[in-house]
Structure 1
């Protein structure tokens, strides 16, 4: 089995996803879009992960490879390949499938709770009723046709959605580790300007080990759910 991930910046890697993929028996490859927009044969992939990044899905003039990336994601979805989108990745899925991506009323950066939506719908992934997760986003999206909302927060209505059995988009970062949180702070600390849903660098990095264990365990559940959709 082969898992492929689309990486938009060097400092946003797979985080906890990598160890799960290795343990599940996947070979891992990636397209580092910040240096090369070379995509593999879509039929050689068994699992696609679309990572986050500071750019917008609407920035095709500045990042021409976005058009190619959207086409690649659409091919994967059409073929029934399990697809997981994280932050920008979720927005790319929404845009690709007909939704709109636009600035949220507030930025969400730091550790804030999400709540489950449609928790009684057995046909969708089941989030905990409420859980604190790690956020770093300023845009949001409308749900594409056929998508089901599965999580929300006070600061952003559409936090997670599912499309069919094999596609999940997450605005938040369940893959975050202490190392990847530090990398985001180091590279994007200019965004830590204060706000109702923006924590300080100290607050972000003060998260205890159990916070990371909690979100990484939930990411494992998401990955297992999508793996079973193959």
Structure 2
């Protein structure tokens, strides 16, 4: 049984389908709410796994959101200690930044369901379970691959979708955790961004319903295998 600390930036961008997975595995998890968090909380370093979730802010936005300084320092401490760490979207970008890689705007938004193109390293990794299954993309920034990391996946719109370092760090630009059955929360919570980007909301709803079951099964296999390796 593992203790899992989860850094959350928005209430609806939570563990999603991973909550049920962790519960079935016998793991326990707790949320740390980033905007008001005490990042010196010892549980963040003692946890068997740290998960850093997404947010509609950038990895270099600490001038606008000062809590990112403490959050980045917390994540850096875990990484330097070699402790299992999973980053999703903003979380992945923060890991990339800590490892010395650039994070910058793409110049366009990638929002919607589409499949990944796995690299050779990705095909040999737990991400192989996602092959052929459209995943949810929702970002406007992208990370470069850190020099010490293995590049695992790309998409048609973004060449850098995932990387790993050893078996203890996994960084995912896409949202394999998002619960397709609760996509409406995302549509409401990101209404301004979606309108500005001209995204078809009904298409997102339809794709969530179409791909939800297969994506949930593939995501659970991916994370379960990675967790077994990371311990």
TM-score w.r.t. the length of structure 1 is: 0.90
CA-to-aligned-CA distance 1:124-145 (integer Å, 9 cap, x gap): 3342443311111000011112
In 1, distance between residues paired with 2:14 and 2:71? 17
Matches within 5 A, 1:1-230: 1-41=2-42, 42-119=44-121, 122=124, 124-127=125-128, 128-193=130-195, 199-207=199-207, 209-228=209-228, 229-230=230-231
Secondary structure of residue in 2 paired with 1:186: helix
In 2, distance between residues paired with 1:89 and 1:120? 19
In 1, distance between residues paired with 2:225 and 2:41? 24
Greater alpha carbon shift after TM alignment, 101-110 vs 208-217: 208-217
Aligned length: 227
In 1, distance between residues paired with 2:76 and 2:126? 21
Q: Is contact 1:106–1:138 with CA below 8 Å preserved after alignment?
A: yes
Secondary structure of residue in 1 paired with 2:225: helix
Cα deviation for residue 61 of structure 1 reads: 1.0
More helix by share: 2
Please list every run of 5 or more consecutive structure 1 residues that lacks an aligned counterpart in the other structure. Answer: none
Secondary structure of residue in 2 paired with 1:151: strand
Please list every run of 5 or more consecutive structure 2 residues that lacks an aligned counterpart in the other structure. Answer: none
Q: Is contact 2:123–2:152 with CA below 8 Å preserved after alignment?
A: no
Greater alpha carbon shift after TM alignment, 210-219 vs 67-76: 210-219
In 2, distance between residues paired with 1:110 and 1:158? 16
Q: Is contact 1:37–1:65 with CA below 8 Å preserved after alignment?
A: no
In 2, distance between residues paired with 1:120 and 1:19? 25
In 2, distance between residues paired with 1:204 and 1:70? 32
Secondary structure of residue in 2 paired with 1:192: helix
Cα deviation for residue 178 of structure 1 reads: 3.2
In 2, distance between residues paired with 1:105 and 1:170? 19
